[in-house]
Structure 1
């Protein structure tokens, strides 16, 4: 996405025409299938979305990996944010890549060294802004993904979109990033088909219905979609069931686990056992198989390979897998989830507004 935005400021591309300034709106968690299924509650977005106005997310379909790819143009195998929680090879501890940078002693520049779209644009003299909620200001994840941008905060979706329009209008040549997490939050708590999720979608759609300033190109997309997981589809991986035999850490998230084994374990035998016991519920692949298949993109640096689990467990259908021995079990209360490769999680909108509208 980053190269396309820069191209739109420099003369246009096959995907986006020339614009006076550009706004990238990311509606966290809004999958293309869910948007189409609720088109009547999102008239602005659905009316601007043609059949082919979709794009693919990355693997895993999680915010840390996907937002970083959107804002750098690099695949997870290159930028290194390969999951929700992954093992830090230096400390041999799991690190939450959304909120655990400081606690884990992780340097954002060291872990994510790919230049952001903001750094690339600023080098060419473009004004750059990133809009989010106040809690994200100065976080480690913001340091990894928003470097080079002037961060502005606003509490609500409508205020953020209004500010994005104003900044793009006032600063020719600007790149403005506007992050809207409301739909994702409602989905996690209540599910994609809930009244709360629909209300959040309606609020975002209303915010985006305001007139775009002349010459400003707006691209609306998402980092990933979401699928509802009923409680009877929860699989608990606990020590009593033998799931922790030979296992050092279980990271990732319930729809896509990074499983790190003990150094002396027979990995071939362990892989076979997990495949057998999870047949029909999840696909279990080794690190080497995942990299060879290009799941993390066509490249995976040596440093990034060390962060990827020895085994990856990718949920099928509406299954979620939980580490029953984890200290924090709050994730078991989530309804809407993501991380795997179903169309609901992987397909996202690619909607053009303003100067980008066809």
Structure 2
């Protein structure tokens, strides 16, 4: 909303946010991509490690709770007494969270967790991105349209490297994820065990953790994210899921075999965005934002814009003028240089470069760029994520040792 200038004063439009001021993920020292390499190094897996300092353990379980951001957890101690009790004792007593990576979205984060690589290397830099080979948008969560997973993401997973090094390795998750392309390229290695209920997953994860002298077990729960998208964090449904997953984490922790470490983390946080025209700007109804844009990728709070030939500069200028005080708006090269997709000195892989939008826009305020016609389901979600605000970007790293 624009307000008139005070009498006798000149009105100045807010200056666009500098992309370099965005709180870029802590790649190499404290991001999700650093977790498993640090764990695997402690298990004796060669040629792995990161700047994340974790004490070694013979048996390690990583429990990833989809959608449970650091700030949301801290704000709900009554619903999560067990997890809250770990906040001050984790990470050598500092309670320091990890950063998810950019964008803070499930496909990108799970690939970072499983490969130990930032998005600019593993190649899943958004919810939907353009496939340079076809020119079509590729949904990297649903894997539509189909493309060869191992061409799209050719790097080995940490689980595969651990398994090859003789570590007992497995994933315990919902059966529906057993054969998905995302599982294959991000989380495969060792054995996949499908279990329907959360309690079954916790019990089997603990059992598998004790099945060998050296073990790496990964388990996952999705419905905190699901309820957040559908009902928002300010809902009884979301709070009930938090209570439930808190009990699951405690159940797993109480069954840890000797010489074990449990790390509870998440892939991103979430923010509720109001349903009003100022907060949810509809791309499909906004001719100014659509001008020069051939494809709209990403998601509401982390957009990839693919311009028609020759229009990238104009798209950048218009988006900065219209949204620059509420979003960090950058060209592809500016976003890469600012460290959004990996450490600036590392750049991004050549095969990944054109998957990133000509223009990338990340929300800094409580705003989302929705698309009511082309993305009706996503546009109807209450809770959203994707950007680099602390609410979305910071995720817990909670530790329990037996």
TM-score interval, smaller chain = over 0.9
User: Using the alignment, how far apart are the partners of 1:85 and 1:162 within structure 2?
Assistant: 35
User: Using the alignment, how far apart are the partners of 2:286 and 2:219 within structure 1?
Assistant: 46
Q: Which of 298, 311, 318 pairs up with 2:359?
A: 311
Answer yes or no: is the 8 Å Cα contact 1:32–1:344 preserved in 2. Answer: yes
Answer yes or no: is the 8 Å Cα contact 2:113–2:186 preserved in 1. Answer: no
Q: Does 1:9 align with 2:52?
A: no
Q: Deviations over 1:48-71 (max 9, x none)?
A: 111523111101111111111111
Q: Does 1:131 align with 2:172?
A: yes
Q: Deviations over 1:128-168 (max 9, x none)?
A: 11121121110111111122231111122222111111110
User: Using the alignment, how far apart are the partners of 1:112 and 1:345 within structure 2?
Assistant: 25
Q: Deviations over 1:85-129 (max 9, x none)?
A: 1001111100110112xx423111111122211111011011211
Answer yes or no: is the 8 Å Cα contact 1:77–1:304 preserved in 2. Answer: yes
Q: Does 1:257 align with 2:303?
A: yes
Answer yes or no: is the 8 Å Cα contact 2:293–2:315 preserved in 1. Answer: no
Q: Does 1:30 align with 2:63?
A: no
User: Using the alignment, how far apart are the partners of 1:48 and 1:243 within structure 2?
Assistant: 45
Provide the residue aligned with 2:268 in structure 1: 224
User: Using the alignment, how far apart are the partners of 1:34 and 1:79 within structure 2?
Assistant: 28
How much does 1:244 deviate?
2.4
Provide the residue aligned with 1:70 in structure 2: 113
Q: Does 1:245 align with 2:291?
A: yes
Q: Does 1:206 align with 2:247?
A: yes
User: Using the alignment, how far apart are the partners of 2:328 and 2:58 within structure 1?
Assistant: 46
1:155-170 equivalence runs, <5 A: 155-170=196-211
How much does 1:297 deviate?
0.6
1:201–1:333 CA distance, 2 compared to 1 (3 A)? same
Greater mean deviation of Cα atoms: 42-51 or 24-33: 42-51
* Aligned-partner SS, 2:224: helix
How much does 1:239 deviate?
5.3
* Runs of 5+ unmatched residues, structure 2: 1-34, 89-93
Provide the residue aligned with 2:18 in structure 1: none
1:1-358 equivalence runs, <5 A: 1-10=35-44, 15-50=53-88, 51-100=94-143, 103-210=144-251, 211=254, 212-232=256-276, 233-238=279-284, 241-265=287-311, 267-298=312-343, 299-326=347-374, 328-355=375-402
* Aligned-partner SS, 1:257: strand
How much does 1:16 deviate?
2.6
Answer yes or no: is the 8 Å Cα contact 1:30–1:183 preserved in 2. Answer: yes
Greater mean deviation of Cα atoms: 204-213 or 31-40: 204-213
User: Using the alignment, how far apart are the partners of 1:141 and 1:238 within structure 2?
Assistant: 29
User: Using the alignment, how far apart are the partners of 1:189 and 1:323 within structure 2?
Assistant: 17
Answer yes or no: is the 8 Å Cα contact 2:288–2:318 preserved in 1. Answer: no
1:240–1:340 CA distance, 2 compared to 1 (3 A)? closer
Normalized against structure 1, the TM-score is what?
0.94
* Runs of 5+ unmatched residues, structure 1: none
* Aligned-partner SS, 1:35: helix
How much does 1:81 deviate?
0.5
CA root-mean-square deviation = 1.7
Answer yes or no: is the 8 Å Cα contact 1:53–1:351 preserved in 2. Answer: no
User: Using the alignment, how far apart are the partners of 1:98 and 1:270 within structure 2?
Assistant: 27
Q: Deviations over 1:331-351 (max 9, x none)?
A: 121111100011110111110
User: Using the alignment, how far apart are the partners of 2:360 and 2:337 within structure 1?
Assistant: 13
Normalized against structure 2, the TM-score is what?
0.84
Answer yes or no: is the 8 Å Cα contact 1:158–1:204 preserved in 2. Answer: no
